[in-house]
Amino acid sequence: MTAYAPPPAGPPEPDGLGRFARRWAEAIGPTSDSPVPDLPEFLERLTRDLAAALRDDTVEARADEAAAALVGADFHSPAAVRRTIEVFSDGFLDELRGEPGAEDEIKLRARLGQLLGGLSAGFAHALRVRTRTEQEAVQRAALRAVRLADRDRRVVEARFRAVFADAAVGIAMVDLTGRLIEVNTAFARMLGFVPEEIRGRTVGEIIGDSGHGPTSSRYLDLLSGGRDHFRTETTRVRPDGSRLVLDLSMSMVRDDDGAPGFLIGVTVDITERRRLQDQLWHESRHDALTGLPNRTLFAERLAERLAEPACGRLGLSFLDLDGFKDVNDSLGHAVGDHLLVAVARRLEEAVAHGDRLVARLGGDEFVVLDDDCVGEAAVVGPAEAILAALREPFHVGGRELTISASIGVVDSRAVGADPQALMRAADITLYRAKAEGKSRLARYDPRDSARQITQHTLATALPAALTRQEFFCDYQPIVGLEDGRLRGVEALIRWRHPQLGIVGPNQFIPVAEETGHIAAVGRWVLAAACRQAGAWAAANPTLTCYISVNVAVGQLRRPGLVDDVMQVLTEGGLPPERLQLELTESAVLGDDRGPVGELRRLADAGVRLAIDDFGTGYANLAYLTRLPVRQVKLAGEFLKPLRTGTSVDPKHDRLLTAVIALAHDLGLSVTAEGVEHQGQADRLRTLGCDAAQGWLFGQPGPAEEVGRLIARQNRPS
């Protein structure tokens, strides 16, 4: 008995890019007079090439190749170009999102814009090449028609007539007075005529005398032999009122003696291409959400205005919405987008009187450029009007929302005519306004300190510093005063800033807390320190010292600290008892509502806790009885009176003795920071201090130096 055989499977269903290629074929197929065999397969190959270009950032080259292939396949009409751009604008990203390796939305949209511009430019380039080829063929045929003997002239003229009549571009033969001797159908149709209507009329009548008529210098150059051809763009209105943009090339045909014979004009209708280019230019320089000029257009206008010799005094109001992130987080990005559009319209209304440009720079940042303002007061007035306008409630999606803004105001007379300097001054002034509270206006002050400028520079660069791997850790040994052996190592974060050089934590940690980035920075240093401690332990199995990491106030107050710490320990392969977290007095002392519960969970898990910089804050040891700490670290300032073994002030000596003794009575070990001299170390050891760190025992340095110290101490004797 013959076994049942299933029917053969049909062709597989096309994937997303295959379906897109078929839609593309349906859109542009009717625009070509020459049928293309296997058009869907041809377009699918182009589609997959362009999809790969969006993923590997080779958009411009592949778009140019795709456009050349389309023009070569006779898809070069304005309708083919327009429908191609429309199909890619409407559906390409939707199919690409499901493809393997698809990138994030913002990057894909940016590259899609490059692709559309590349296709438009590629069509233009390929069509110019085709036009030039046809023009050269026409010129060669014309020259042959003039030069060949009479016995061949009829054949050559027939060939020339065939090229002349069938060319896709417009062709006109013009005598030396500028009159049209002969035109082909394409030329007449472009201009809205039939050939019989325009033969014998002048070029100036039909196209206009915009630099190409018989009185133009370029035309006279053709007659005199100064040039063989010229090319220009011209715009005219057809008899039916429609606008036409032409790419016009004029070439002189000379006789055997070199004398001017007649002109050949070749025209290409570039109306649709120009419309697409104008549209792409507009979209690249305007915010897609609000329709306002974007950062690119604003920067261009500012630079152009400042470069004008007659430029007066320009004013700049740089504003940022207060608490806009809360709107997005609580109500969703759709509501946030509607609010941004409403803010844009209200800004335009608030500064409608006067020569002012409103732009959206991105996110919730807007800027207003005031042209020819008369002094700072002329800028401050509109800025105050903006603040007042934004305080009025917004009605978005059935909700009433209240929002405010902070504004930094500068003028070019105070800063200078450099666009970057003007924007930097506005940015710094806005930063100062936001630091003063919500709904504030700050005026530019040239006396702003270098510290403010540095803080602003750090604040703007901080979000990207982690991804650029600009942070690193130095490590400083903590040494036992009795035996001189390594007890622990403190990890000290540094920032290798590309402009400012090495920046210490005392400069950027407060900025990180203020800008809300402290959690990410704190987790980074915790993970880096635990990984390094794990590496030391793996190389030295008998190692018992701990790694000590500072925890900032903002990090300590953030929910989830315990989970973060335990996860980092697991990832670094480090036991909890080998990690010490250093907390400042201000973070845990003097606040009964502080994170004591979180600290107890960490201590119960085995993590060591220490009070850092003890002696500079509340100095109330009674609080230590309620905290699960194991160590206090005496601040370097607390030890400065110690010099070479004796205290300058006997009272201070007695105080130091009492602090160490009381800490021991509470079961806490004591580590002294900032020990620089042997006399200090000797006196601290006499007073019963357990450990110390400072330049006497080793400066903060790279992990390799501490690794060598660990290897020496763990070497078998």
Element (H, E) at 404: strand 404-411
Is residue 10 included in any domain, yes or no?
A: no
Contacts 24+ apart (CB under 8 A), 633-637: 633/582, 633/670, 633/671, 633/672, 633/673, 634/659, 634/670, 634/671, 634/672, 634/673, 634/689, 635/673, 635/674, 636/673, 636/674, 636/694, 637/674
Q: pLDDT category, 359, cuts 50, 70, 90?
A: very high
Is residue 155 assigned to a domain? no
If one compares 258 and 581, the residue with the highest pLDDT of the two is 581
Q: How confident is the model at residue 35 (pLDDT cuts 50, 70, 90)?
A: confident
Task: Tell whether the model's pLDDT for residue 455 goes beyond 60.
Answer: yes
Distance, in Å, from the CA atom of 205 to the CA atom of 195, rounded to the nearest integer, reads 14
Percent helix, strand, coil in the chain (nearest 5)?
50, 20, 30
Q: Domain ends where: 448, 480, 505? A: 448
Contact 213, 193 (CB under 8 A): no
Q: 535 and 396, same structural domain?
A: no
Task: Based on the fold, state whether residues 194 and 322 are members of the same structural domain.
Answer: no
Are 269 and 333 found together in one domain?
A: no
Is 459 part of a structural domain of the chain?
no
Model pLDDT for residues 320-351, shown as the tens digit of each residue: 999 888 888 888 889 999 999 999 999 999 98
- Residue 450's pLDDT is 61
The answer as to whether 158 is a domain residue is no
pLDDT of residue 198: 87
Residues 561 and 684 in one domain: yes
Length of the chain: 717
647 and 529 assigned to the same domain: yes
Angle at Cα 282 formed by Cα 277 and Cα 287, nearest 5°?
145
Given 275, 308, 324, which residue is the final one in a domain?
A: 275
Stretch (H or E) spanning 475: strand 471-480
CA distances from 358 to 215, 280, 290 (A): 45, 21, 11
557 and 584 together in one domain:
yes
Q: What is the mean pLDDT of residues 542-569?
A: 89
pLDDT, one tens digit per residue, over 421-449 is 888 888 888 988 887 888 899 988 876 65
Provide the β-strand partners of residue 546. 488
For residues 486 and 713, what is the distance between their CA atoms, to the nearest angstrom?
Answer: 8
Range(s) of the domain holding residue 572: 465-713
The mean per-residue pLDDT over the stretch 83-110 comes to 71
Predicted pLDDT of residue 297:
92
Q: 433 and 369, same structural domain?
A: yes
Q: How large is the average pLDDT for residues 370-398?
A: 83
User: Region 252-266: what's the mean pLDDT?
Assistant: 85
- CATH number, domain containing residue 191: 3.30.450.20
Is residue 472 located within the same domain as residue 576?
yes
* % the chain with pLDDT above 70: 86
Question: For the chain, what is the mean pLDDT?
Answer: 83
Pair 529, 426 in one domain: no
pLDDT in tens, 461-516: 898 898 899 999 999 999 999 999 999 999 999 999 998 899 999 889 888 888 88
**Ramachandran quadrant class, 692 (left: phi over 0; alpha: psi -120 to 50; beta: rest):** beta
Is pLDDT of 535 > 90?
Answer: yes
Q: Look up residue 615 and give its two tokens.
A: 């002696």
Cβ pair 608, 581 in contact under 8 A: yes
Contacts of 212 (CB under 8 A, 6+ apart): 203, 218, 219, 230, 232, 234, 248, 250
pLDDT number for residue 214: 45
Q: What three-state secondary structure class fits 235? A: strand
Q: What is the pLDDT of residue 592?
A: 47
Task: Give the integer Cα–Cα distance in Å for 543 and 487.
Answer: 10
| Domain annotation covers residue 112 | yes
Per-residue pLDDT band at 9 (split at 50, 70, 90): very low
Between 295 and 555, where is the model more confident? 295
Mean pLDDT of 631-651: 72
CB count in 10 Å sphere of residue 665? 9
Q: What is the mean pLDDT of residues 164-173?
A: 84
Distance CA 224, CA 219 (A): 9
Phi and psi for 483 in degrees, rounded to 5? -115, -5
Confidence band of 5 (pLDDT split at 50, 70, 90): very low
Do 262 and 300 share a domain, yes or no? no
2 falls in which pLDDT band (50, 70, 90)? Answer: very low
Least confident of 162-171, 259-268, 707-716: 162-171
- Over residues 16-30, the mean pLDDT reads 87
Looking at the fold, whether 614 and 702 belong to one and the same domain comes out as yes
**Does residue 284 or residue 138 have the better pLDDT?**
284
pLDDT at residue number 305: 85
- The DSSP-derived string for 156-170 is HHHHHHHHHHH-SSE
Lowest mean pLDDT among 85-89, 296-300, 561-565, 642-646: 642-646
Domain count for the chain: 4
What is the structure's pLDDT at 7?
44
Q: Between the ranges 7-11, 154-158, 262-266, 589-593, where is the mean pLDDT highest?
A: 262-266
Q: What is the mean pLDDT of residues 515-529?
A: 91
Residues 114-156: pLDDT tens digits?
788 878 777 777 777 877 787 777 777 777 666 655 555 566 5
Considering the domain architecture, whether residues 181 and 101 belong to the same structural domain is answered as no
Question: Which sign, positive or negative, has the C-alpha torsion 567, 570, 573, 577?
Answer: positive
Domain boundary among 247, 275, 303: 275
Residue 562 DSSP label: H
Q: Is residue 430 part of a domain?
A: yes
Task: Tell me if 304 is assigned to some domain.
Answer: yes
Nearest-angstrom CA–CA distance, 592 and 620:
13
Q: Kindly report the CATH number assigned to the domain that includes residue 339.
A: 3.30.70.270
Rounded Cα gap, residues 444 and 132, in angstroms: 57
Query: Mean pLDDT throughout 201-213?
Result: 68
| 223 is a domain residue | yes
Dihedral pair phi/psi, residue 233, rounded to 5°: -110, 140
